[in-house]
Amino acid sequence: MVKISLDVMGGDVGPEVVIPGAAKALERHPEISFVLFGQKARCEALIARYPKLKERSVFHDCEVAVGMDEKPSQALRRGRYVSSMWRSIEAVKTGQADVAVSAGNTGALMAMAKFCLRTMANIERPAIAAIWPTLKGESIVLDVGATIGADAQQLLDFAVMGGAMARALFEIERPLIGLLNVGVEEVKGQEEVREAGRMIREAGLDTLNYFGFVEGDDLGKGTVDVVVTEGFTGNIALKTAEGTARQIATYLRSAMSRSLLSKIGYFFAKGAFDLLREKMDPRKVNGGVFLGLNGIVIKSHGGTDAEGFAAAIEVGYDMARNGLTQKIENDLKLYHARFPSSVGPEAA
């Protein structure tokens, strides 16, 4: 049994996507139960359309919904303790839920999650990890937007947390870790990245298999299981990949409708194109995981549909079922036990 709290008001659409998405996830995973936080006037009738979801859910009325354009500081002042976003995160802190999922404002969600759950001991900054489709299957890329700029110790922390996520999600005993760089040679790149590589290699953790530096094209190849970078570069890479996928899809639609011959060709190759469309569907890999907090929070794309939100819920389900938080804590303890000089003050 996995209990999932939902910020029903989050995202570009809100309840009209979140509630059907929860119903879809429940169909595929009947052992899930939900704690829903939202405005009763907008949610009550929608929930009634899904009897199974209503039966497996507890609803809490919240007056305040955090806007997608609100600044994190404003959202904290206005929505702390009372908003659907805050209360969905607080449910994880109090043990009402195992994981929180929101499609809301990313900055506000991160600010509230850090304030409510706090970061783990020895973690200075959390990271957002994304599931990345590759030629070999899937990999994990972090950070994709939580931390702009990172020193060597923070990059090592990201590697440890990303490795724990790979073990939880992919069930790999020793995930292959790569540091994103401008070249694979040891002399290339920023000093922080080179130093992080040295630290990861010298750490010799049994839970990690350090590959070395990887370049941008390795993300799609699936060269490693976990790609580590700081948030500025990671976010640009993520948005570039999403934009490229949409661009290719537009090109294909245009080419297939250009002439009668191309339409006939599409008819005979429809199965292949359907498979390609499924592989490129961003909804299938929706759900960024906030790592480094004392609890699991999943960020869904704000503009996704019900199928995409269901995928984000399922990421949270997998993370909770496979003990993500405990795996990260154990790996961090193992590293800091070997290198006590790197242990900083515990997070407040």
Least confident of 38-52, 87-101, 300-314, 322-336: 322-336
Name the pTM for this structure. Answer: 0.86
Q: Quick one: 165 and 310 in the same domain?
A: no
Structural domain count, the chain: 2
Q: Quick one: 94 and 170 in the same domain?
A: no
pLDDT at 276: 62
The string of pLDDT tens digits covering residues 233-282 is 998 988 888 788 778 778 777 877 778 777 777 666 767 666 666 666 66
Q: Does some domain include residue 283?
A: yes
**CA dihedral in degrees (252, 258, 263, 266; nearest 10)?**
-20
Residue 42 CA to residue 58 CA, distance in Å, equals 16
Q: Quick one: 218 and 301 in the same domain?
A: no
Angle between helices 270-279 and 260-268 (to 10 degrees): 80
Residue 229 CA to residue 142 CA, distance in Å, equals 6
Residue 208 CA to residue 262 CA, distance in Å, equals 49
Q: Does some domain include residue 275?
A: yes
Q: Quick one: 95 and 130 in the same domain?
A: no
Residue 224 CA to residue 29 CA, distance in Å, equals 29
Q: Which helix (H) or strand (E) holds 305?
A: none
Q: Does some domain include residue 80?
A: yes
Residue 109 CA to residue 115 CA, distance in Å, equals 10
Mean pLDDT, the chain, rounded, equals: 88
Inform me whether the pLDDT recorded for 295 exceeds 80: yes
Least confident of 99-108, 136-145, 337-346: 337-346
The enclosing domain of 220 has a CATH number of: 3.40.718.10
Q: Quick one: 144 and 273 in the same domain?
A: yes
The edge-to-edge listing of strands for the beta sheet with 176-180 is 57-61, 32-38, 2-7, 99-102, 296-299, 288-291, 127-134, 137-142, 226-228, 176-180, 209-214
Q: Does some domain include residue 328?
A: no
Say if residues 317 and 114 touch (Cβ distance below 8 Å). no
Q: Which helix (H) or strand (E) holds 291?
A: strand 288-291
Q: Quick one: 226 and 316 in the same domain?
A: no
Whats the size of the chain, residue-wise? 348
Q: Quick one: 73 and 186 in the same domain?
A: no
End residue of a domain, out of 247, 273, 289: 289
**Prior bond of 331 cis (ω within 30°):** no
Return the higher-pLDDT residue of 240 and 95.
95
The string of pLDDT tens digits covering residues 105-143 is 999 999 999 999 999 988 888 999 998 888 888 899 999
Q: Quick one: 186 and 84 in the same domain?
A: no
pLDDT at 287: 87
Q: Quick one: 152 and 255 in the same domain?
A: yes
Q: Does some domain include residue 347?
A: no
Q: Does some domain include residue 341?
A: no
pLDDT at 32: 96
Q: Quick one: 258 and 156 in the same domain?
A: yes
Q: Does some domain include residue 188?
A: yes
Mean pLDDT of 184-208: 86
Q: Does some domain include residue 8?
A: yes
Q: Quick one: 277 and 129 in the same domain?
A: yes
Q: What is the percent of the chain where pLDDT is above 70?
A: 93
**Residue 10 pLDDT grade (very low, low, confident, very high; cuts 50, 70, 90):** very high
pLDDT at 274: 64
Structural domain boundaries, residue 310: 1-122+292-321
Q: Quick one: 144 and 255 in the same domain?
A: yes
pLDDT at 245: 77
**Residue 345 pLDDT grade (very low, low, confident, very high; cuts 50, 70, 90):** very low
